[in-house]
Amino acid sequence: MFNWRSFVLRRVLARFRVRNDIVRHLTTFQRLGERLEATPPAGESIPVGMRTVLRALRTRGAAQIRPGWVWPFWLHRQLDPASPDFTPRGHLPFMANVTSRNWTMIGPARSEWEGIVDPSGMVTPWFDGWSVDWWVGTPSGWRYPSLEEGLPQRLLDDSPVVETRMPLEEGSVVCRAYSPMTEDLAVIEITNETPANVDVALAIRPYNPEGLAVVEKLFVDGQTVILDGRPALYLSHPTSRVAVGTFAAGDCARMVAEKEVGPPPRRVVKDPAGMLQAAFVYELEPGASVRGFAPLPHEHRHHGRKRLTTAPSLDAEVPDAGRVCADWATALDRGMKVSLPDDRLQSAVKANRAYMHLFLDRDEITPGPYNYHRFWFRDAAYQVACLDRWGFHSEAADVIRAFPPRQEPDGFFFSQWKEWDSNGAAIWTVAEHIRLTQDTSLLPLLAPAVEKAADWIDRKTKERRRDLPELKGLFPAGISAEHLGPFDYYYWDNLWGLRGLLDAQLLAEKAGKVEAAGKASEAAARLRSSLLRSIEIAAGRTGRTFIPAGPTRGVDNAMIGSLAACYPLRLIDAEDPLITGTLEAIGQFCIGDAFFQGISHTGLGTYLTLQLAFVELEREDPRALRRLWWMLGAATPTFTWPEAIHPRLEGGCMGDGHHGWAAADFLSVVRNVLVREDPKGGIALFTAFPEQWRGRNVSVSDAPTHSGRITFDLRWDGGVPVLSWEAEAAGVTVRVPGLAPAWASDAQSGSERLPV
């Protein structure tokens, strides 16, 4: 088998012999990484992170021999020894973003294309590509947002319209980044909100929030900027003040500052080091704007300059930011809606309801707009369930409808090599959709795939393992969820497999397939027996009662995954000693109210912290609210979360900087605080009630549950809470454990003063 690691390492080391050409030669390997990741040779597996490693090599090479350049927000701080983000490189030849992995996605609803906006307002329209930055010229000199500390950033009307402000002595210059609801286009709009004229620049930069990009050729055709043969940026206005920089000539930011500008180049400009940049400078009167339009679809590189026969006239056709906000409000005026007494929480909910529609890519859903922009059944389970819990059933159904084509002939729902949780996750997602919608119309399409998937789980867990009793009847070793650790045997996979078999039985019964239901039931009984026996053996070695991460593991961070047995899978009761013991053991890995994941993520886990909140809500433990408040406090100003957060710097340190699983779990925890399925039967409202909400009104409408939809509101009369509710189904028990633990009602509707 061809060894890609050895090949790349030999080639890189050979090129290092010529120091002056280091960045130029690393460009070749960064492009090689792009090709390998996109089209791996048949039968080969490309080393995980190859593209990341090659990008990090090149970023280190350029950054250390070109001091004084205007770098992106994260890189500037990691290079600056005076910054708390300073990151020593030592002998490692890499430079990657490990302190500020925070960004906000923009894009059309349900499109497969998204761009991202970093904390300084820099827009990256293509994965691993160039970016559009913005600069402001003042009488005292040029100011660069990526070098500023704490620029105000927010969402307009809690919609995916990102506004970043550069405060000046009088007023501000504002950059807004957004996409129309129905067009694969990123709009970058700079507006002068000061009483005097200012200079601004739209700057194409050869980097992004992860590292250097490759830009080798630039051509300007009228108001269209073409990079490497691809139309990259359309300018709303022509300008005669343009600066073009290369690795050899220097940063175009210096040229702009020193007024070394001129008309757009008449020929293709080339840079073999792949560090081409250009700045387009404008003078804006008070109230005036200039806009750039970047297409989001990522075209392949072309060696020619690819002249355009007609450059689009976009400025008059593209809606402004206000119109886009109104379009989002109209599109999301459905499903479960809430009115909360906490303005910040209300805004975070509104923003993330919109983001969930950006994570949707037609008939699939992805856990990130950038480096996690691909489909996994594991992440999809949490995200699709969130859509259903908030009443976006048609969107959830579109994703589920595309499950069967993803199934291998042997019944395996393939996400990634040796990810054994996929089948259980897929089946549970289907069953949860039906439980929350009471709609079985998808069953004729999905039942055959579910039956094949259940048979696959049964066959896979029957395969012969090593002669260890704790491995008998379980899945083989696999890669599983990355927060669990390296290749190993994991209970996570078996828990999802067991839930998949139980739900396969349910779905077969609903489809009238008696034989398939019986087979799934028998397989579930075998797997449950094997799983409990294995847990007893593994935990017994430690002398404690808990669920480790796997049969060969002890007490470590990865056992956070075992809490899925309680929620969302509800295989083991929340008060069971196994769950209680696991929660107690996990406590040693918490920093304050957040869970610290020392495996892979090595940071404060966002959705992992909320896993604790889910289980605490099942136990009716008000400590769940502390996890939720931590999560809300850790949100960026645009209400996004990375996969993991630096424990001291509070910036993203791992994964996609706008993480879909984290967003989905945030919405699901808020929903479960307000309304959730009661394991004792019926519906629980206000399982935990924040003290700061006392005396303040709360309302929830059209909330889907396993018992049908429910609408309710809480008002206060002389300090006494008054609950009004209307359930879709009769005979459903309603409780309010967070306010009146002793109260319950079986009435379909009513209005009652709660005993407190």
Q: What is the pLDDT of residue 496?
A: 98
pLDDT at 468 (0 to 100): 87
Predicted confidence at residue 642, as pLDDT, reads 97
- pLDDT at 93 (0 to 100): 83
Structure tokens at 126: 């293509």
Angle between helices 514-540 and 577-586 (to 10 degrees): 50
Q: How confident is the model at residue 89 (pLDDT cuts 50, 70, 90)?
A: confident
Beta pairing class for 734-736 and 683-685: parallel
Instruction: With a cut of 80, say whether residue 621 has pLDDT above it.
Output: yes
Helix (H) or strand (E) holding 547: none
The pLDDT, as a whole number, for residue 499 is 98
708: closest CA among 689, 688, 731, 686?
A: 731
Q: Quote the CA–CA distance of 707 and 678 in Å, as a whole number.
A: 10
Beta strands in 632-736 (DSSP E): 644-645, 652-654, 675-677, 683-685, 698-703, 710-717, 720-727, 734-736
What token pair was written down for 50?
């190859």
Q: Which among 661, 664, 665, 649 is positioned nearest to 101, based on CA atoms?
A: 649
What Cα–Cα distance (Å) separates residue 421 from each residue in 450, 481, 696?
Answer: 14, 8, 43
Quote the CA–CA distance of 47 and 194 in Å, as a whole number.
Answer: 51
pLDDT at 316 over 80: no
Q: How far is CA 726 from CA 343, 677, 746, in A?
A: 26, 16, 11
Decide: helix, strand or coil at residue 558: helix
Q: pLDDT tens for residues 319-351?
A: 999 999 999 999 999 999 999 999 999 999 999
Q: pLDDT band for 314, please (50, 70, 90 cuts).
A: low
pLDDT exceeds cutoff 90 at 707: yes
Residue 309, pLDDT > 60, answer no
Distance (Å, whole) CA 585 – CA 556 = 9
Output 92 or 465, whichever has higher pLDDT. Answer: 92
Amino acid type, 332:
L
pLDDT at 481: 83
d(CA 188, CA 341): 34
Mean residue pLDDT across the chain: 91
Average of pLDDT values for 484-501?
Answer: 95
Distance CA 148, CA 100 (A): 14
Evaluate if pTM is beyond 0.85.
Answer: yes
Q: What is the pLDDT of residue 470?
A: 92
- For residue 41, what pLDDT is reported? 38
- Closest-CA residue to 100 (of 660, 738, 645): 645
The number of beta carbons lying within 10 Å of the beta carbon of residue 20 is: 7
The pLDDT of residue 716: 97
Give the pLDDT confidence of 409-462 residue by residue, as tens digits: 999 999 888 899 999 999 999 999 999 999 999 999 999 999 999 999 999 999
Rounded to whole angstroms, what are the CA distances from 496 to 385, 553, 560, 564, 738?
Answer: 15, 18, 14, 8, 30
- Residue 16 identity (one-letter amino acid): F
Q: What is the mean pLDDT of residues 584-602?
A: 94
Query: What is the structure's pLDDT at 299?
Result: 72
Q: What is the pLDDT of residue 53?
A: 80
Angstrom distance (rounded) from CA 20 to CA 700: 64
Q: How many residues does the chain have?
A: 756
From the number of C-beta atoms within 10 Å of its C-beta (0-12, 13-18, 19+), residue 423 rates as buried
Q: Which residue has the tokens 């967070």?
A: 738
Whether the bond into 568 is cis, omega within 30 of 0: yes
Give the CA count within 13 Å in the CB-facing half-sphere of 648.
3
DSSP per-residue letters across 204-270: EESEETTEE--B-EEEEETTEEEETTEEEEEESS--S-EEEEBTTTB-HHHHHHTT--BSPPSS-EE
The tokens for 495 are 């828990």
> In the structure encoding, which two tokens stand for residue 292, read together?
């750039």
Work out the percent of the chain whose per-residue pLDDT is above 70.
91
- What pLDDT is attached to residue 298? 80
- Is residue 46 over pLDDT 70? no
Closest by Cα among 94, 26, 89, 21 to 56: 94
67: confidence class by pLDDT, cuts 50, 70, 90:
confident
Find residue 133's DSSP bridge partners.
Answer: 203
Question: What pLDDT score was predicted for residue 62?
Answer: 80
The upper half-sphere exposure of residue 334, i.e. CA atoms within 13 Å in the direction of its Cβ, equals 12
Sequence-separated (6 or more) residues with CB below 8 Å from residue 496: 421, 423, 424, 425, 428, 564, 569
| Nearest by Cα to 675 from 663, 664, 689 | 689
Q: How confident is the model at residue 463 (pLDDT cuts 50, 70, 90)?
A: confident
Q: How confident is the model at residue 58 (pLDDT cuts 50, 70, 90)?
A: confident
| pLDDT above 90 as % of the chain | 83
How would residue 50 be classed by pLDDT, with cut points 50, 70 and 90?
confident
Distance separating the N- and C-terminal Cα atoms of the chain: 70
Type of residue at 347: S
pLDDT for the residue numbered 302:
59
Instruction: Among 46-60, 351-365, 498-512, name the one with the lowest average pLDDT.
Output: 46-60
Judged against a pLDDT cut of 60, whether residue 1 lies above it is answered with no
Residues pairing with 218 in the sheet: 227, 269
pLDDT tens for residues 28-45? 555 555 554 444 433 333
Q: Residue 97 above 90 pLDDT?
A: yes
Strand partners, 710: 703, 727
d(CA 207, CA 187): 19
Q: Which of 3-7, 482-486, 488-492 has the lowest mean pLDDT?
A: 3-7
CB 175 within 8 A of CB 163: yes
Question: Mean per-residue pLDDT for 641-668?
Answer: 97
- Here the tokens at position 294 are 């970047």
Per-residue tokens: 228:
């490497």
- How far is the CA of 398 from the CAs of 158, 361, 560, in angstroms? 26, 10, 31
- For residues 471 and 533, is the Cβ–Cβ distance under 8 A? no
User: For the residues of 365-387, what is the DSSP string, one character each?
Assistant: E-S-SSTT-S--HHHHHHHHHHH
